[in-house]
Each structure stands twice: as C-alpha cells, then as structure tokens.
C-alpha cells in the first residue's frame, strides 16, 4: 500500500514544479525580447542571471543547470544576431551568466544532498524511536490508550522522555519518566530505564520492590555518565501506575515526577503523591522510601500522565502552559481526542516549538473488562 500512496504525492510535486518552471522561462523570453527592442547601448543581458537563481529555489540541480544553459544560449543567440559576440560587453555578460549558473547549480546540489542526509537521519531516528519508545496500543485490557511524544530538537523524534506499558497478571502497569537533559545522551539513559522496566515489570509484584530494582539499575548504568562533568548530576523522574482490570483501586508511586491528572465529570483532580520519593539515580545520596498511593479509576474516567516539558512550556511572554485549566475542557473527550487537542494547544501556546521534550499518555477505563 505504501508505494501506491507515494505516487500521487510525487505526481503532484512534479506538476507544481512544471508550473513554477514557467516563471524563469518566461523571464528569459521577456528579457530577450526587451533586449532586442532596446537600443544596443542599453544592455539587458545581465538580467538573465535571475532565471537560474529563481529556478534553484524550487527545482533540482539538473533543471537549474538546464535553465542556466537556456539563458546562456539565448544570450549567445542575441549576440550572434546583432554580430556582437566579439564585443567586450557581451563577452562579459556571457562569462557572468556562466559563472552564476554554475554557482547556483552547485549550491542547489549541496542543498539537495543535505536534505537527503537529513531525511536519512530522520528515518534512523524514527527507527530508533520504535525500538526504544514502542508505540502504545490503542487498547490495553479495559483501557483505551493514546500517547504523543514531542521532541525539543528539530532533527530528532525522541529524547529523554519515556513511557511504556506492560500487561501483568492483575492488570496493566505503566511507567512515564523524564531523563535530565535532551538529545542522544538522554535517549540512551531512557532506553536503559525502559529495558529495566520491561524486564522486571512482569515478575515484580509490588511497586516498592519494582522501584527499588529500577533505582539500583539506574544507579549502576548512570555511574559513568556519557558526557564529562556530569558526575552525580544524572537522574530520572518517574511514576509507575498499576491499574487492575477489576474495579479495585489503582496504585501509583512517584519519584519526583509531575502528578497525574484525573478527569471526571468535567472536574480535574491532581493526584499528588503523599510522600514523593527522590528521582531515580539519587538513591545513593539518601535512603528512598517508596510509598504507594491509591485512587479510583471509574469507567469513563480519564487519567492524564505527562512530563514536565508540558507544564513548564512557556509562551513568548513567559507564561507557563495552564494544563489543569485546559484539561478541564477536554474531560469528555476520548484519549485520542484529548491527546490531539493537548498537542495542538501546547504548540500554539509556545509558538510552534518546545524548549524541552514533552510526552503525554492518556488512558480511559471502559465498562468492558476485555
């Protein structure tokens, strides 16, 4: 199916290029006609430089070079018609046109090669995203789920934020976290935590025991930071939620992570931890105690998990994004619609580009246990 979807797009792009190609060709014709009609002491040949320059803004290097050759040929034709090819003026115009055509063609080639390299980097980044940050399914047991990741770096699709979900013998276990920093270093630390979570989430029954395991794993893997000068500065905020398939209370443990929001009947409840533990990776500085908090997730309720890149996003005037106030207006949405509205509204708030990675996971319990 994918090749068939690409063909209409390529056909549309070629038709658009055809239409734009009429602009430089029309300019060449107009300049030549004007040059023929004007007196010989008013040279208009130098204006032909604009034709390859304009073509380079939208066409391939081959088309750019072809338009340059057409412009050069037109100038040679006018010079030959008026027997001026041996004059210094026409010779200088031809040399200038040749030089400009070569320069813009080379720059167009370099720009196109850079675009191909950037596209390849994006494809590799997307592949890494699917390996490290696997997409959450739309349905997990009795839960409808939706997620979105917004990377701060324009060239990347992922960074230091993370989320994952696994099925256990009693229900669904989810993690959301945020690694200090951005880019490839943060992505590596996030992959370490996700790997440890997926390995232990199935066989560790209690949340405190799971958090202890993750703390040890993070301290071990972050003992040698990948960047100099970061000794003792690497940590990961995280929250793990256990949601049983039965109507039993859900459980949550937070390690310095922003509190989730519970949306019920157009009301928003902030699920603050009674005794939040320090972020993962700082366990050697203290003796963490992982206290489990409980809450009820009724059919129709929405649970919104997010990273600090959402609530710490600022608009151009420095105002933080009002997540709680905005979420109240989307309390009746499905998880997919809620995530869609939140992403669009957040990007509009910051003017189109985030300064920090942001991740959002929304889930809703349904009446159907399957």
Write the pLDDT tens digit of every residue in 219-230.
877 655 555 445
Give the helix/strand (H/E) hosting 192: helix 183-200
Q: 173-203 as b/e, with b when 16 or more CB fall inside 10 Å?
A: bbbbbbbbbbbbbbbebbbbbbebbeebbee
Round to whole Å and give the CA distance between 282 and 348. 35
Q: Which of 246, 241, 240, 239 is nearest to 170 (CA)?
A: 246
The backbone torsions φ and ψ at residue 268, rounded to the nearest 5 degrees and listed phi first, read -115, 125
Give me the DSSP letters along 309-331. HHHT-B-TT-PBP-HHHHHHTTT
What is the rounded average pLDDT of the residues 97-103?
92
Q: Which of 331, 364, 361 is nearest to 343 (CA)?
A: 361
Write the pLDDT tens digit of every residue in 2-13.
334 343 444 444
What is the rounded average pLDDT of the residues 80-101?
80
**In the predicted structure, residue 17 carries a pLDDT above the cut 70:** no
Q: Output the pLDDT for position 367.
A: 79
Q: 142 is written with which tokens? A: 């009795």
Round to whole Å and give the CA distance between 76 and 55. 20
CA 83 from centroid of its chain's CA atoms:
60
**In the predicted structure, residue 267 carries a pLDDT above the cut 50:** yes
**In the predicted structure, residue 242 carries a pLDDT above the cut 90:** yes
Q: Which of 23, 106, 26 is nearest to 74 (CA)?
A: 26
What is the rounded average pLDDT of the residues 234-249?
91
Round to whole Å and give the CA distance between 256 and 259. 9
Q: Confidence band (pLDDT; 50, 70, 90) for 122?
A: confident
**In the predicted structure, residue 303 carries a pLDDT above the cut 50:** yes
**Parallel/antiparallel/unpaired status of strands 302-306 and 358-365:** antiparallel
Whose structure tokens read 């490839």?
A: 184
Strand partners, 363: 145, 303
**In the predicted structure, residue 28 carries a pLDDT above the cut 70:** yes
**In the predicted structure, residue 16 carries a pLDDT above the cut 60:** no
Round to whole Å and give the CA distance between 149 and 361. 9
More confident residue, 133 or 61: 61
More confident residue, 180 or 294: 294
Q: 89 is written with which tokens? A: 């003026």
Q: Confidence band (pLDDT; 50, 70, 90) for 153?
A: low
Q: 115 is written with which tokens? A: 């675009």
What is the CB-side half-sphere exposure of residue 186 using CA atoms within 13 A?
A: 23
Q: Output the pLDDT for position 188.
A: 78
Give the helix/strand (H/E) hosting 174: strand 171-179
Q: Which of 239, 241, 236 is nearest to 280 (CA)?
A: 236
More confident residue, 140 or 127: 140
Whose structure tokens read 């040679």?
A: 76
**In the predicted structure, residue 284 carries a pLDDT above the cut 80:** no
Round to whole Å and give the CA distance between 254 and 287. 15
Give the helix/strand (H/E) hosting 73: helix 61-81
Q: Output the pLDDT for position 218.
A: 85
Average pLDDT, the chain: 84
Q: Output the pLDDT for position 232.
A: 47
Q: Hey, is 39 helix, strand or coil?
A: coil
Measure the CA angle with vertex 286, ends 282 and 289; round to 5°: 95
């Amino acid at each position: 199916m994918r090749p068939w979807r690409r063909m209409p797009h390529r056909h549309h792009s070629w038709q658009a290029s055809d239409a734009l190609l009429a602009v430089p060709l029309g300019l060449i014709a107009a300049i030549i006609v004007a040059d023929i009609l004007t007196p010989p002491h008013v040279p208009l040949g130098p204006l032909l430089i604009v034709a390859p320059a304009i073509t380079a803004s939208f066409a391939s290097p081959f088309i750019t070079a072809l338009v340059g050759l057409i412009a050069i040929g037109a100038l040679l034709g006018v010079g030959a018609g008026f027997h001026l090819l041996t004059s210094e003026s026409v010779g200088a115009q031809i040399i200038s046109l040749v030089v400009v055509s070569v320069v813009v063609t080379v720059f167009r080639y370099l720009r196109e090669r850079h675009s191909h390299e950037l596209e390849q980097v994006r494809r590799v980044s997307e592949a890494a995203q699917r390996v490290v940050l696997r997409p959450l399914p739309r349905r997990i047991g009795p839960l409808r789920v939706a997620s979105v990741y917004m990377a701060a770096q324009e060239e990347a699709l992922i960074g230091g934020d993370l989320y994952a979900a696994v099925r256990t013998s009693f229900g669904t276990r989810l993690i959301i976290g945020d690694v200090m920093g951005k880019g490839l270093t943060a992505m590596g630390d996030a992959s370490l935590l996700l790997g440890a979570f997926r390995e232990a989430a199935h066989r560790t029954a209690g949340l405190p025991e799971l958090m202890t395991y993750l703390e040890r794993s993070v301290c071990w893997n972050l003992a040698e930071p990948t960047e100099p000068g970061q000794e003792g500065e690497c940590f990961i905020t995280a929250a793990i939620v256990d949601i049983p398939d039965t109507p039993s209370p859900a459980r949550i443990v937070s390690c310095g992570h922003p509190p989730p929001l519970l949306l019920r009947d157009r009301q928003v409840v902030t699920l603050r931890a009674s005794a939040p533990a320090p972020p993962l990776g700082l366990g050697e500085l203290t003796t963490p105690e992982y206290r489990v908090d409980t809450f009820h997730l009724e059919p129709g309720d929405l649970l919104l998990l997010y990273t600090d890149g959402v609530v710490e996003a600022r608009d151009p005037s420095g105002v933080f994004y009002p997540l709680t106030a905005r979420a109240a207006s989307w309390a009746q949405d499905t998880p997919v619609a809620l995530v869609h509205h939140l992403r669009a509204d957040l990007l509009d708030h910051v003017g189109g580009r985030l300064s920090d990675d942001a991740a959002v996971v929304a889930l809703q319990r349904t009446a159907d246990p399957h």
